[in-house]
Structure 1
Amino acid sequence: MPPNAQSVAQVSRDLGVSDVTLYNWRNQYRDRGNAVPADPSNPENWSGKNKLAVVIETAALNEEELSAYCREKGLYVEQVRRCRSAAETDADVERPLTAAERREGGKQ
């Protein structure tokens, strides 16, 4: 990822780690909820899970910290703001649970 974007092949050569291992590490990191781009050239195509991770990671940051975070992750501040807005909009339209869903939820 920017600012030090390198290909997997380059990182593999530099570290002496196979590209398969690097992809596995990336997937494990993503599965833990950390923001890892599926397509670093277009964060708009990230999964909802990765976008949510960005929203959570940036929730308490001030403008200066947010700018630094974005530089580190290769994002634009506006992309983070759109992720936040989408999360808020989706939360606003959430429907109430049905009686069956409430009963099912109580069984867990």
Structure 2
Amino acid sequence: MMPPKNKSVAELAKEHGLSEQTLYKWKRQAKEKGMVIPKTNTSSENWDPKDKFHVVLETATLNEIELAEYCRSKGLYVEQVMAWRDACMQANGGVAQETATLQRHLRDKDKAYKQLQKELNRKEKALAETAALLVLQKKCRAIWGEPEDE
């Protein structure tokens, strides 16, 4: 079931006289122990991203010789693992860059919001002052009457 052969469960069951359930159980147990086992019998380029990430993690500390040995045992190419590693690095860098951009936009929006808030407060004060003057003008007219034309 494991790379590089990637035989199907049904094929292995017939070949070795085992039940398919036993093979699925062994596969599940191996996966629980942390082994990288692709979900399907497809080529390594069609592996699940999670499996690719596990391979990148497993090979992160390996030197060139150990990496080549690991790749041979899994049926992979060193170039594939390096490409997956680069993709992981770019994905992480992209998130950091996007976060910085979003923070910059948020700061700009906060500045604009504070400026608008300040302008709104100034206009509210001016409106309140104008309203107070109009009320005083009405009271003056009520007390002293309309100004006469001279």
Under a length normalisation based on structure 1, what TM-score does the superposition of the two structures give? 0.70
Segments of 5+ residues of structure 1 without an aligned counterpart are 99-108
Q: Which amino acid aligns with 1:56?
A: L
User: Larger relative contact order (C-alpha < 8 A, sep ≥ 6)?
Assistant: 1
Provide the residue aligned with 1:22 in structure 2.
23
Q: Deviations over 1:64-95 (max 9, x none)?
A: 11111011001011110111011001000114
The residue that corresponds to 1:91 in the other structure is 92
Considering fraction of residues, name the structure with more helix.
2
The alignment partner of 1:93 has SS state of: helix
CA distance in 1, matches of 2:11, 2:43: 21
Runs in 1 of length 4+ with deviation above 2 angstroms?
Answer: 4-14, 23-34, 38-41
d(CA) in 1 for partners of 2:91, 2:39:
22
Kindly report the root-mean-square deviation, in angstroms, between the aligned alpha carbons of the 2 structures: 2.7
- 67-76 or 87-96: which moved more? 87-96
Aligned length: 96
CA distance in 2, matches of 1:76, 1:61: 14
Going from structure 1 to structure 2, the CA distance change for 1:57 and 1:81 (only over 3 Å counts) comes to same
Distance in 1 (CA, whole Å) between partners of 2:64 and 2:51 is 21
Structure with max Cα Rg: 2
- Cα shift at 1:47: 1.2
- Identity across the alignment (%): 43
Q: 1:48 and 1:79, CA in 2 relative to 1: closer, same or farther beyond 3 A?
A: same
**Structure 2 alignment gaps of length 5 or more:** 103-150
Over 3 Å counting, the alpha-carbon distance change for 1:74 and 1:56 in structure 2 is: same
Shift of 1:7: 4.1
